[in-house]
Amino acid sequence: MSQDTTLINKQRQDLSQHHSVWLFGYGSLIYKVDFPYLERKAATIEGWSRRFWQGSHDHRGTPEKPGRVLTLVETPGELCTGMAYRVTPEVFEHLDHREKNGYLRFFTPLSFDDGSQDQGLVYIATEDNAAFLGAAPEADIARHIAGSSGPSGSNAEYLLKLHTGLAELGVTDPHVEKIRHHLVQYL
Active-site annotation, residues: 99
Tally of CA atoms within 13 A in the half-sphere of 121 that contains its CB: 26
Between CA 87 and CA 20 the distance in angstroms is 5
CB 85 within 8 A of CB 120: no
CB 27 within 8 A of CB 48: no
Strands (DSSP E) found in 29-150: 39-56, 67-87, 104-112, 117-124, 149-150
Between CA 132 and CA 134 the distance in angstroms is 6
Between CA 100 and CA 8 the distance in angstroms is 9
